[in-house]
Structure 1
Amino acid sequence: MIEVRDNFFHIQTANTSYVFSRTDSGLLLHNYYGPKVNFLNFDNVRQKLEGGAGTSVLYEGEENMHMDLLDLEYSTIGIGDFREAALALFNPKFSPSASFKYQSHEILEADSSALPSSHGEAEVLRVTLRDAVLNVRLELYYKVFPETDVISRYAKLVNESEETYSILRFHSAQIDFPESDYVMMTFMGAWAKERHLVEKELKPGIYINDSKTGGSSNRANPLVILRKRNTDEGQGSCYGFNLVYSGNHKTTVEVTPQQRLRLLTGINDHAFNFTFAPKDVFTTPEAVMTFSASGLNGLSQNFHAFVNNHIVRGKWKNKIRPVLLNSWEANYFNFDEKRLLKLAKKAKEVGIELFVLDDGWFGKRNNDTTSLGDWNVNYKKLPHGLKGLAERINRIGLDFGLWVEPEMVNEESDLFREHPDWAVRVPGRKPGLGRNQMVLDLTNREVREYLVNKLKEVFSSCNLKYVKWDYNRNITDMYGRTLENQGEFFHRYIMGFYEIMEELTRSFPDILFEGCASGGNRFDLGILCYFPQIWTSDDTDYLERIYIQTGTSYGYPPSAITNHVSDVPNHQTLRVTPLSSRFNLACFGNLGYELNLMELPKEELQEIKMQISFYKSRRELFQYGTFSRGERSIFSDNCAYFYTVSKDKKECALGFFQGLLHPSPKEDIVYVKGMKEGTYVFRNRLEKHNIKKFGGLINYVSPIRIKVGGRIHNFISRVYKIKGEQEVYRVNAEMLEKSGIRLFSQFAGTGFGSKVRVLGDFGSRIYLLDKEDNSEN
């Protein structure tokens, strides 16, 4: 709901209020953002500066308008506000200063942004401002999503002058807070360790979360959270901000000596200089913001509901996703059709639904130094082509999916030899290489048209149900041969990418597209407008994935997260972890496998078959349930737990995930919120233990001496498994939320038995909650 009263604008969602106002002179002032308030009037949230402010500058000499202290709705430079500004324009004939004043406002039923953006908004507020000297119009947009407690914002500049300006900075949103007692949460990392939580207690100064890589990056995700210092997962106030954009982004948080706080978010002004000619219109990406008074889980749930209902679109919106097998770690580049079909048959036996052929199917692609750009089938590997392979995969009973990396090119490729000018590089300078490849220039229309036509040819050549779209290097040597202004390269590249995806998703609406960028190097809301799910990380190691999936969950729902069970030793860390733990963690999202089923022992194949059957039986719960993190986090403890509650609040799955086990461990107590009133049965999914887990301890109970690793030991391990503990509790919703469940103690050298959990290093459990009359299912 949008209410305009007494020069105040009051935007309301189900649980939040956002208030700003206009002065008689046309300034927009920010007044309030937080829990929903029924305002009798707005005097209580009007900023009071009658006491003066020393050397501050008064806006146009107006009394009490101390620009450096005012909470502004949108800021520019040169008019007395010396904090970081939201907008900077330049023309050598004019002062760098700008002063945009209120002209009008309008409440719209729907939005029409030129960029990929959210959909399904209830209302849109457009506020129009103008700088009479520059003759430039500024439009601020506010989209309202009441049920998810989200307000999104973007801005538009319209050049009504006869002058050409340079846009040096143009942020999507700004919020000025009157207090600064917040902790800033960002999600940083690198390849194979994406979105690790980093917290900074704010002091006076400037804090920046940004990407300069050309993509949203694995270094610093666009997601930023401000929480009060006493806020935790279950209680307290917090604000979340994200950006519907896949390119360079920047969020600036500035704390002043007066303990005021300004947040700016939008396109990064790094290497950004956009020509703004007469009649030009420039629109920023959409910034998404939400507030929760019920802790970080409440904030994440707002984001999750928003992504599922207002970002993802098309056939795969709120639809369950298939269980897949990806061929990469089973084969790398070394495969042929016969080998793939054997793998597919084994995949069908264990319950896989989708077979994905990864890298190596095209050109002379036998390693990563060649053939990117040559999207023609390698008939030596696939004598029947993609069509023939897909038909054979379909006859086995599986859908067929394919890997591509269209934005890249190898120097050793036919495409590069034909069109060396299509690669991004500075004329006269030897380009840098990343992963033995260069980037194709998507600012060039000819390149975009080639890619669209070639990919349409590939995608329509067979019965294709899934595409994994990779992006394996960052952008350097940025130069577009068709651009007049190279300061526009980064933004125009992303806009070119969106143009390609708009056409391909429209042409192939039934294909499930999955985003990938060396794992999570481009994991953002812009990607999710076209790719309903994203490969979370190239790192499939169980322990590292606890960190990665926990960090990702703060802003992105399980339905957007793809997790694969891979082989051990893990191909990224060489760590050996239990198959059960790799599966248990992968359940919380879209499940896949990435290992050579042909080489697994029978007992592991049987275990995988049971895993997939279990996952399918609760797939909707794992992908679309209401997700919460427990108070114990891997970022501060040796374990973590999180859980997902069904839409009807009658079912729950909880995962407990341990890192290293230490002697005399802390007692494990789990709490669950959000269940409907009623009686439930809480129980663990049964596990069995291989006796090899206990090493020489077998001789503590064996009547005869057994040599560890000997024939008898190996024989027993093949034919006999020790049953794990079975925990069963009869509980109600109040018990789950308030008193929790004290789990069986862990084995740590003593006390093994039927009421002891044997987890050890990297152990885990899944616990299930069902209505009492449904607990046997």
Structure 2
Amino acid sequence: MPIRIDDATRTFTLHTLHTTYQMQVDEVGYLTHLYYGARSEGQMSYLPTFADRSGCCTTPHDVTGRTYSLDVLPQESPFQGNGDLRSPLLVVRDAQGTFGCDLRYARHEVRCGKYALAGLPAAYADADADDAQTLSVTLADERLGLEVELLYGVLPAIDVICRAAVVKNRGEGRVTVERLQSACLDFVHGNFDVITFNGQHCMERKPSRQRVLPGSFAVGSRRGQSSHQYNPFMILCDHDATETAGRAWSMTFVYSGNFKAEVEQTQYQQIRMQMGLSDELFSYPLEPGDELVAPEVIMTYSGAGLERLSHNLHRCIRRHICRGPWRDAPRPVLVNSWEAHYFNFTGDELVRLAAKAADLGMDMLVMDDGWFGDRNDDFRALGDWSVNEEKLGGTLAQLIEKINALGIKFGIWMEPEMVNEDSDLYRAHPDWALAVPGKAPALGRDQLVLDFSREDVRENIFAQICSVLDQGNIEYLKWDFNRSMVDIYSHAATDQGRVVYDYYLGLYDVLERLVQRYPNLLIEGCAAGGGRFDAGWLHYAPQFWTSDNTDGHDRMTIQYGTSFGYPCSTMGAHVSACPNEVNGRTVSLSARGLVAMAGGGFGYELDLLELPERACEIIRNQIAQYRSIEQLVREGLYYRLTDPATDDIYAWEFVSEDGAEAIVNAVVARAEGYGEARYVVPRGLTPDALYREVNMDQVFAANALMDMGLPLPVSSALYMSRSFRFVRVDA
């Protein structure tokens, strides 16, 4: 079994296929962290050191003289208040306003299966197929009557350990949680880099790698969403780690709101990595009997570089975060109406667009913004989810029937969390928006955020969504979120410091009800593109709109960065018109198509009716090609063969788990000089095997391919693209 407990030494050891995680209750009663790395047997209690370090506080229950200090010892759940002056996971105030607690080991329990979290998304395990276990360790503060239950969910087959915590007020007075994070890794030494994934609207999740130096390095979001600016995913790795060598640890937050991820190096060159809720705009009161759940963090370790780390995370998110029938099913190839018509369309124009989509071999038309209320621009009508039948020339049901008659599925766009001041909903219920009384609200895209911490708001919006979805055969919903939270005030809350957290409990409640009521509905998340691309959202929607920037060149970097933490099956990727509306760049249709095929939500974002016949023929071939490789894109192992930030070509690869099939793709990203030969070197093939390249009908030795690669045409033009498909020749 993956969880082993030595009662004599009070040591807890968590084993996965290739990794070991170990902790111990020490002689004072604190839960200390010992080890997380390559699978090992035995006990690692020799790793912490004890010495008289001037300036480090000792505990009042000291049994070893001045050599014992929590400020130096590696810990599992560091808290503020008993001598550890590094960044804590937990900070609390008691009823008198005094900061500090003292959490000691109280009890533990081992359970079969993977834990779940009340009201929050979390990884799950199949009880019949997964050898998952949960370790629960409870820490307690007798003075406050406070308990913290630490949860460890072990998914051994994929080398993943999940962490969460539940803070429980078992005392007689109020306790206010001022800071709550979910996971911490303490390292007694290391020469490390930290990798984060940063960006902005239309250029999300660019990898940023830097040395870990003395002091604290942190990224996070105070925007009310996980954000375009910083993704809730972080890697700590050896300074010389590469895709295929070196040690690497990662944390992924299964949450869509404000977060903080931090790496701190102390004066003794110890390193702490941690992740959880942001303590900004957060102050959560717990009355006696109340509980507060810290959202889950997914952790994994690789001793073989960043590539294996990504493979572990991809398997986890595909198999243990995403749910429902679309998790393992081919997604429809779609055309979205936005870049074809924006707000200006009629029902007849959508039918013509659907007819052309059918002619080109597509599966679905998505009707984007502009179909409801008097929504002819982005200044009005959000919150009024009633069909504009005058604009559509009939009912929504009639439009859907016409499109379905063409052999095309129908999808729809909504932005349920938002409201315009110019809307019937806002005029009737202005207090339903998050806004500070007496202060002019900060607008974004001329809209406000609805207060999803309130049950009456959620019930109204859920009823409106269902009323729309029940009008016809709607098989896809694009759920958008186009601005950040600024004015954090709920008219229904007595403590404003809990509003943002409660907002996400409310949002997840609506999403869960939606998933249960419409189990076959394909939901794609969107937040002005990729502003809420996180593991929390993927628990309800198996794909997310990766970015509003669909330029084939920029998408190389966006999708490359996203792939470190998220599988390609979750990425919405479309081919759009050129010159690109974001940056004016022109990229060949072939390259745009090949880059978009690296996403599990493949489609088009342009006016099909304006395309010349040659472009139509290319699109037909792209769709046929995508259908032939879709399962490999969705389920295969992904390899980053080059870095688009530094290399002249952008190359990537999909390999089936058994190594029987592989697809190697390349696009020339920079063309300089004349006569240079460029080679694409695949990885992950079966050593010593032979592979037939389907297009050339030529057999290659796997060892030679993985050593020297394949040449691209000499003097390739900018954005020239090639795709190689290999099938293993089995004896």
State the TM-score bracket (shorter-chain normalisation).
Answer: over 0.9
- Residues in 1 aligned to 2:44 and 2:652: alpha-carbon distance in whole angstroms: 41
Structure 1 counterpart of 2:335, from 308, 325, 329: 325
Contact 1:546–1:657 under 8 Å retained in 2: no
Is contact 1:124–1:144 with CA below 8 Å preserved after alignment?
yes
For residues 158 and 461 of structure 1, do their structure 2 counterparts lie closer, same or farther at Cα, with a shift above 3 Å needed?
Answer: same
1:730 pairs with 2:670: no
Deviation at 1:343, TM superposition (A): 0.8
What's the counterpart of residue 464 of structure 2? Answer: 454
Q: 1:168-217 deviations in whole A, cap 9, x for unaligned?
A: 00110111111231111000011000001111111101000100100000
TM-aligned CA distance change 1:342 to 1:18, over 3 Å: same
Rg larger in 1 or in 2?
A: 1
Q: Counterpart amino acid of 2:620? A: K
Aligned to 2:284: 274
2:727 corresponds to 1:767? no
Which residue matches 2:611?
600
Rounded to whole Å, the distance in 2 between the matches of 1:742 and 1:377 is 54
CA contact (8 A) 2:34 2:47 kept: yes
2:480 to 470, 483, 489: 470
CA–CA distance in structure 2, aligned partners of residues 171 and 506 of structure 1: 30
Which residue is equivalent to 2:91? 88
Partners of 1:93 and 1:327 in 2: CA distance: 58
Cα distance in 2 between the residues matched to 1:87 and 1:621: 43
Trace 1:23-38 onto structure 2 (pairs within 5 A).
Answer: 23-38=26-41
Alpha-carbon offset, residue 682 of structure 1: 3.2
C-alpha deviation, 1:95, in angstroms: 4.0
Q: Provide the C-alpha distance between the structure 2 equivalents of 1:733 and 1:404, rounded to a whole number of angstroms.
A: 48
Q: Could you say if the C-alpha distance between residues 665 and 273 of structure 1 is closer, same or farther in structure 2, counting changes exceeding 3 Å? A: farther
Measure, in 1, the Cα distance between the counterparts of 2:532 and 2:680: 34
| Map 1:87-236 → 2, pairs under 5 A | 87-91=90-94, 93=96, 95-110=98-113, 111-114=115-118, 115-120=120-125, 122-236=132-246
- Whether 1:341 and 2:351 are equivalent positions in the alignment is yes
Shift of 1:52: 2.3
CA distance in 2, matches of 1:226, 1:682: 38
RMSD: 1.5
Q: Please say if residues 246 and 305 of structure 2, whose CA atoms lie closer than 8 Å, have aligned partners that are also in contact.
A: yes
Match of 1:701 in 2: none
> How many angstroms apart in 1 are the aligned matches of 2:272 and 2:443?
39
Distance, in Å, in 2 between the alignment partners of 1:358 and 1:123 is 43
Check conservation: 1:142, 1:151, Cα contact below 8 A.
yes
How do 1:329-728 and structure 2 match up within 5 A?
329-589=339-599, 590-630=601-641, 632-664=642-674, 667-676=677-686, 678-682=689-693
Task: Tell me if the contact between 2:348 and 2:393 (Cα under 8 Å) persists in the aligned partners.
Answer: no
The aligned counterpart of 1:740 is 708
Q: CA deviation at 1:399?
A: 0.8
Contact 1:659 1:762 in 2 (8 A): yes
- Following TM superposition, by how much is the alpha carbon of 1:771 offset from its aligned partner in structure 2, in angstroms? 3.0
| Farther off after superposition, 425-434 or 55-64 | 55-64
Show the counterpart of 2:56. 56
Ranges in structure 1 where 5+ consecutive residues have no aligned partner: 686-726, 748-757
Checking the alignment, whether the CA contact within 8 Å between 2:659 and 2:728 is kept in structure 1 is no
Shift of 1:728: 6.7
Q: How many residues align?
A: 716
Q: Tell me, yes or no, if the aligned pair for 1:180 and 1:255 is still in contact at 8 Å.
A: no
**Aligned letter for 1:594?**
E
Greater Cα offset, 315-324 or 100-109: 315-324
CA offset digits 1:15-48 (Å, max 9, x no partner): 0000110112211111100010122x445x4413
Please tell me the residue identity of whatever aligns with 2:704.
M
- The 2-side partners of 1:142 and 1:421 are apart by 41
Is the CA contact 2:412–2:476 (under 8 Å) kept in the aligned structure 1? yes
Q: 1: distance between equivalents of 2:677 and 2:72? A: 50
* Contact 1:564–1:593 (8 Å) recurs in 2: yes
Q: How far did 1:77 drift?
A: 1.5
**Higher deviation after alignment, 641-650 or 209-218:** 641-650
The alpha-carbon distance between structure 1 residues 543 and 665, as it changes in their structure 2 partners (threshold 3 A), is farther
**Separation in 1, partners of 2:423, 2:54:** 66
In the superposition, relative to structure 1, how do residues 610 and 112 fare at CA in structure 2: closer, same or farther (>3 Å)?
A: closer
Alpha-carbon offset, residue 66 of structure 1: 2.0
Report Cα offsets for 1:558-604 as digits up to 9, x if no partner: 11001000010111111111000000001111211111110000111
Shift of 1:763: 2.7
Q: Which residue of 2 aligns with 1:720?
A: none
Partners of 2:31 and 2:247 in 1: how far apart? Answer: 25
- Structure 1 residue 773 displacement after superposition: 8.2
Give 1:741 shift: 1.4
Q: Secondary structure at the match of 2:400?
A: helix
Structure-2 change in CA distance of 1:728 and 1:669 (3 Å): farther
Looking at structure 1, the residues matched to 25 and 730 of structure 2 have their Cα atoms a distance apart, in angstroms, of: 59
AA in 2 matched with 1:8? T
- 1:429-458 per-residue CA deviation (whole Å, 9 max, x = no partner) reads 110110111111111111000011111111
**SS of match in other structure, 1:285:** strand
Q: What is the rounded CA distance, in whole Å, between the counterparts of 2:227 and 2:712 in structure 1?
A: 42
Shift of 1:524: 0.4
TM-score computed with the length of structure 1 as normaliser: 0.90
Tell me if structure 2 keeps the 8 A contact 1:425–1:479: yes
Distance 1:362 1:378 in 2: 5
Give the residue type in structure 2 aligned to 1:769.
F
Contact map agreement 1:17 1:32 (CA 8 A) in 2 = yes
Q: Which amino acid aligns with 1:604?
A: A
SS of equivalent to 2:644? coil
Q: Cα offset for 1:91?
A: 2.1
